[in-house]
């Protein structure tokens, strides 16, 4: 299992203000792989203050769709959307800082702050990423208990990675009391969600006789 990346949680935003039609037109172009046209439309919306346009434009710059990769520009646009209250933008900006993408310098402290802001605003990906920060001690004091709480919360919201890593913690007894039966149940849940790793570990615990 890998740390959540943008592509797993990405969903283009459709505008909700006067430039909603422009954002929607950009999405229509995006679906047709007309990335240059999508960028132009979202740029127009963003320049007029539509944060959905800014968010979508940031994604394009970060991933080099219709343009050269430009993580600095992407981080600026995500930052604007994050400051305007877009919780997903906060989480995505945190990913850029955590990984140190392109010419953006790696900064674990800043990434964990952004994940916390995103999570506090109700974004599940932000909560999961914050859990990983506590689990690994990246930008925050390593705290397995807090990590398990966040993994449990995101798992209950349907986040497959949260379920998987919570299962790992139960299996290994890290931060929470070892409970291989609960680990098996969670691996089974992850398996049913499409994870081959979850299926493999579920079978392994079954072979060990874990009920």
Q: Is residue 51 in some structural domain?
A: no
Q: Is residue 105 in some structural domain?
A: no
Range(s) of the domain holding residue 156: 143-211
Going by C-alpha positions, the residue among 66, 60, 56, 12 that lies closest to residue 36 is 66
Along the 211 residues of the chain, how does pLDDT read in single tens digits?
Answer: 333 333 323 455 544 456 788 999 999 999 999 999 999 999 999 999 999 999 999 999 999 999 889 999 999 999 999 999 999 999 999 999 999 988 899 999 999 999 999 999 999 999 999 999 999 999 999 999 999 999 999 999 999 999 999 999 999 998 899 999 999 999 999 999 999 999 999 999 999 999 9
| Measured distance CA(84)–CA(61) in Å, rounded | 19
Residue-level pLDDT at 106 = 97
pTM: 0.87
Q: Is residue 148 in some structural domain?
A: yes
Q: Is residue 191 in some structural domain?
A: yes
Q: How many domains does the chain have?
A: 1
Q: Find out whether 95 and 129 touch, Cβ atoms under 8 Å.
A: yes
Q: Which domain CATH number covers 159?
A: 1.25.40.10
């Amino acid at each position: 299992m890998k740390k959540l990346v943008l592509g797993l949680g990405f969903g283009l935003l459709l505008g909700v203000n006067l430039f909603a039609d422009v954002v929607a037109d950009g999405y229509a172009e995006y679906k047709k792989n007309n990335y240059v046209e999508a960028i132009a439309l979202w740029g127009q919306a963003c320049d007029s203050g539509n944060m959905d346009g800014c968010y979508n434009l940031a994604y394009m710059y970060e991933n080099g769709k219709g343009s050269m990769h430009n993580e600095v520009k992407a981080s600026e646009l995500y930052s604007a959307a994050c400051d305007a209250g877009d919780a997903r933008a906060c989480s995505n900006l945190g990913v850029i800082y955590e990984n140190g993408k392109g010419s953006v310098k790696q900064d674990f402290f800043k990434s964990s702050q952004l994940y916390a802001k995103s999570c506090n605003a109700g974004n599940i990906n932000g909560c999961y990423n914050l859990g990983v920060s506590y689990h690994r001690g990246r930008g925050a004091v390593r705290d397995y208990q807090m990590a398990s709480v966040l993994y449990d919360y995101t798992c209950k919201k349907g986040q497959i990675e949260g379920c998987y890593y919570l299962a790992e913690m139960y299996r290994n007894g890290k931060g929470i009391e070892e409970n291989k039966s609960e680990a098996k149940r969670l691996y089974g849940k992850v398996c049913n969600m499409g994870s081959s790793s979850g299926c493999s570990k579920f079978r392994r615990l079954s072979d060990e006789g874990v009920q």
